[in-house]
Chains A and B, each alone.
Chain A
Amino acid sequence: MFENNQHLRIKRAHEVCGPAARSFALIACGAQKGAVIWISERKNPEQLFPAGVARFCDPARIIFANAKSSIDVLWSAEEALRSGAASIVVAEVEKPMSLTAGRRLQLAAEAGKTLGLFLIPEGMGSNAAETRWRCSPQFDAKDSTLLYWQLIKNKSGTLGGWVVRWDEQARRVIVVSKVGERAGSARAPD
C-alpha cells in the first residue's frame, strides 16, 4: 500500500488520528529506509515498546526526541523535516495545529524531501495537511491483526477506506477489502 507512495506522498506532511495511529506510523516507517525521528512530549506517559515495534519496523532505526512543550515538538519536527537527515519524521501532537504551523511543516517537508507524519487527537489537525487518516483496530473472530484505515482528507485524490492486515512474515500490508466492496457495508464516499 505504501510501496509506490500512492497515498502517502513523501515530501509532504500527513496527519493520522485514531487509536491505531501509532501502528500506522510504524508501518509507514517500515516501508521507508533510513533513520526515523520520533518526537513526542516529555510528559506523555505512553511510550513505544521496542519489542512490539519490532513487528513493524526495526527499533534501532528510531531516534526519540522528548520535547519539553508542544511548541518544542513542532519546532523539532520542522528542523528534522527541513534537514532531510531522516527519511521520516513522526511527531505526536497533543494540541490543535494552526494553519500557519501546518503550512510551515508542509514547506519544511518539501524542502527536506522528507515524509512527515503527525499523530493528532481526533479533529485537531490543520487544513494544510496533505492527507488525514483515521486508523482503528477492527475486531474479527478469525483474524486478530485487522486494521481499518480511513482516508478522511486528501488534497490530491479521492477518499477511501480499507480494511488491512499486517503480514508479519512478508512485512507488508495486505488489503483485505476495500470498504464498499464488502457485502452489507456502507459505500465509502468517492
Chain B
Amino acid sequence: MASERVLRARPIDAPFALTQTQSNTQRIYCLNEQAEQQGLRKGMGFSDARALCPDLQTGLANPREDTRFIQTLARWTGRYCPWVGVDEDGLVLDVTGSTHLWGGEAGMLDDLHARLDRAGLTHKAGMADTRGAAWALARFGGGVAAEGEMLQHLGPLSVAALRISDEVCNALQRLGVRSIQDLVALPRVTVSRRFGPDLLLRLDQALGEHPEPVSPQADPVNFAVRMTLPEPIGLAGDVSAGLERLLERLCLTLTDQQMGARRLEFTARRVDQASSQIEVCLARPMRDPIRIAALFARGIEGLDAGYGIDQIRVEAVEVETLPLRQATHHGAQEGDSLADLITRIGNRIGLESITRCLPADSHIPEKSFTVSLAAYSQPAAQGAWPSTGPRPVYIFPPESIAGYAPEPPRRFHWRRMSFVTARAVGPERIAPEWWLDDPAWRSGLRDYWRIYTREGRRLWLFFTPQNPGWFVQGEFA
C-alpha cells in the first residue's frame, strides 16, 4: 500500500521499493509487484536487494503519510456506509442496511473493486456476516459469504484466517488441523484446554457466535460556525450582535471538546459575493464569548459592509487544549486581564512584538537573555537571573569612541557630549564564545570598564585589546 501511494504520485514501470532505516540498517519496507517477481521480499536488507536487482528504484518510507492516506481512504469509503473503522492494515466497514443502495452485496463489492482499481490500488475485499469472517475472506479468498453459508465459505480456508498468532497457527498445522472446518470438527473442550480460550473466541467471532462490533472513526470536530441572514445587514451593532450569537455556539463546541481558541477568523460575506475577514490572535487559549467578542470590536468598526452583509462565519483556526476548571468565587482567573491586554495590543502592533526576557545560559552580555513572545511563554522564576558583576540598566549596539590605549581615556566624546573620566573600575575581561562565530565579537576579547564621569553619567565601556579601540555599550543609570 505504501509503495502504491508513492507510485501514484510518480508512476514508475520498474521494480520499486520503499526503504526504512531499522536499527541502523536500511531494510525494504514495502515493494511493488515487479520487485517481488525479482525475488525481493519485505524486510530484506537494502544492499541485498540491490545485489539481486540492480535496477531497483527506491524511495524513503513515510509511515505518517501512510497513516494519513489510510485515513483519507476511510473517509472516502464513507460513500458506501457511514460506519467505517480502521483496522491494523485495512479498513472495516459495517454495511448492514446499506447494500441495497448498490444493488446488493455483490454490486457493492464490484463498485468498490472498480473504483479502487481505477485509483491504482491493489486491494482485496471480503464480505460476510461477521467481522472475523470478512477479515478471513478479504485475505484468504475474497468474495461474499451469503447469510447462513458462512461455514461453507470459511471451512476450506486455512486456520491462519482466524486472526491467531503464528505459534498457535503452527501448532495447529503440526497437529494436522489445517483448515477451519478441521478445527470446527474438534471437540471444544480439548481445543480450549490445549490452546487457551483465545482460539475459540476467534472462531466464534468468525462464525458469528460471539459479537464483535466495529468501532467507527470519530468525525473530526469542526470549530467553525456560520449564520446566513435573510436580510443583509450593515450596522456595526448588528454585525457584533450576530458575532455574539455565533461565538456563543462556537464556545459551546469548544467547551465540549475542552479546547480554547488561539486564533479566530471572522468572515463577513457581502451581498456582492465579496468577503472581508478579521483575524484575532489570542494571547492565551480562551472560550469566553463575551471576552472574545470584545476583542473583535476594533475590527468590526473598520469592516466595509458594502451593500450589506448576508453571511457571517467564525472559525477557530488554531485551538489548544484548555481543560475545564472549577469555578472559584473570585470569578476571572488570575492574569486573564493581562492576557486580554496582550491580545488587544498584539492585534494592533503584532503579537510577535510583545515580548518578555528570559534568562539564557551565556556569559556574553548580549546573549545573557533571550527575548521570547509574551503570549507563548511563562515569566522566569524569581532568582533565575544569574548574578554577574554590575551590569548597565540598558545597552545598545557598541558605539565607537576615539582612543587606542589600553588605559581608559581621560577625556572622550560620545554622542556629541564630552566627558572627563573621574573614576574607572575594571577591567572585566569577557572572551568570545569560541564555539560560535558571532560577527559582533569578531574583534576578539573585550575588557569592560565602568567609567564614572565628572559630568555624572556612568557608562559601560569596553576596550578590544586584539583590535585596539574603545566602545560605549551601555549606561548604568
B-binding residues in A (CB < 8 A): 19-20, 22-23, 26, 35, 37, 42, 45-56, 58-68, 72, 75-76, 79-80, 83-86, 136-139, 141, 144, 147-148
Q: Residues of A contacting B422 with CB < 8 Å?
A: 139, 141
Q: Within 8 Å of chain A (Cβ to Cβ): is B394? A: yes
| Binding stretch for chain A, among B229-237, B310-318, B346-354 | B346-354
Contact A46 B338 (CB under 8 A): no
Contact B476 A137 (CB under 8 A): yes
* Whole-angstrom CA separation of A85 from B342 in the bound complex: 10
Given contacts A83-B337, A85-B340, 4 further A-B contacts (CB under 8 A): A51-B365, A55-B393, A63-B374, A66-B355
| Binding stretch for chain A, among B111-119, B261-269, B455-463 | B455-463
Chain B at the A interface: SS class: mixed
Contact A23 B477 (CB under 8 A): yes
* Whole-angstrom CA separation of A54 from B386 in the bound complex: 10
Contact A60 B356 (CB under 8 A): yes
Min C-beta distance of A164 to chain B, whole Å:
11
Q: Residues of A contacting B476 with CB < 8 Å?
A: 23, 52, 137
Contact A147 B477 (CB under 8 A): yes
Among A48, A51, A75, A83, contact of B368 (Cβ-Cβ < 8 Å): A51
Q: Within 8 Å of chain A (Cβ to Cβ): is B121? A: no
* Whole-angstrom CA separation of A51 from B366 in the bound complex: 10
Contact B368 A68 (CB under 8 A): no
Contact A46 B396 (CB under 8 A): yes
Q: Residues of A contacting B356 with CB < 8 Å?
A: 60, 62-64
Q: Within 8 Å of chain A (Cβ to Cβ): is B395? A: yes
* Whole-angstrom CA separation of A66 from B352 in the bound complex: 9
Among A53, A54, A65, contact of B349 (Cβ-Cβ < 8 Å): A65
Known pairs A50-B369, A51-B386; A85 contacts B477 (CB<8 A):
no
Q: Within 8 Å of chain A (Cβ to Cβ): is B388? A: yes
Chain A at the B interface: SS class: mixed
Q: Residues of A contacting B390 with CB < 8 Å?
A: 52, 55
Contact B394 A50 (CB under 8 A): no
* Whole-angstrom CA separation of A7 from B110 in the bound complex: 88
User: Which chain B residues in 389-408 approach chain A with CB under 8 Å?
Assistant: 390-397
Q: Residues of B contacting A49 with CB < 8 Å?
A: 365, 369, 391-395, 474
Min C-beta distance of A23 to chain B, whole Å:
5
Known pairs A52-B476, A83-B340; A47 contacts B395 (CB<8 A):
yes
Known pairs A49-B365, A52-B476; A75 contacts B348 (CB<8 A):
yes
Q: Within 8 Å of chain A (Cβ to Cβ): is B454? A: yes
30 contacts between A and B (CB under 8 A): A19-B457, A19-B475, A22-B393, A22-B477, A23-B393, A35-B338, A45-B397, A46-B396, A47-B394, A47-B396, A49-B369, A49-B392, A50-B359, A52-B393, A52-B395, A52-B476, A58-B382, A62-B356, A64-B355, A65-B354, A66-B355, A68-B349, A72-B349, A79-B345, A83-B344, A84-B337, A86-B341, A137-B457, A139-B453, A139-B455
Min C-beta distance of A54 to chain B, whole Å:
5
Q: Within 8 Å of chain A (Cβ to Cβ): is B357? A: yes
Contact B357 A50 (CB under 8 A): yes
Among A20, A60, A83, contact of B382 (Cβ-Cβ < 8 Å): A60
* Whole-angstrom CA separation of A37 from B283 in the bound complex: 15
* Whole-angstrom CA separation of A141 from B452 in the bound complex: 9
Per-position binary interface string of chain B over residues 109-140, scored 1 when its CB falls under 8 Å from any chain A CB and 0 otherwise? 00000000000000000000000000000000
* Whole-angstrom CA separation of A66 from B452 in the bound complex: 31
**Centre residue among B338, B340, B392, B423 by max chain A CB count within 10 A:** B338
* Whole-angstrom CA separation of A64 from B440 in the bound complex: 24
Min C-beta distance of B471 to chain A, whole Å:
14
Q: Within 8 Å of chain A (Cβ to Cβ): is B381? A: yes
Contact B396 A138 (CB under 8 A): no
Contact B395 A66 (CB under 8 A): no
Q: Within 8 Å of chain A (Cβ to Cβ): is B302? A: no
* Whole-angstrom CA separation of A86 from B335 in the bound complex: 10
Known pairs A26-B393, A65-B345, A83-B341; A60 contacts B380 (CB<8 A):
yes
Min C-beta distance of B185 to chain A, whole Å:
77
* Closest B residue by C-beta to A53: B393
Q: Within 8 Å of chain A (Cβ to Cβ): is B379? A: yes
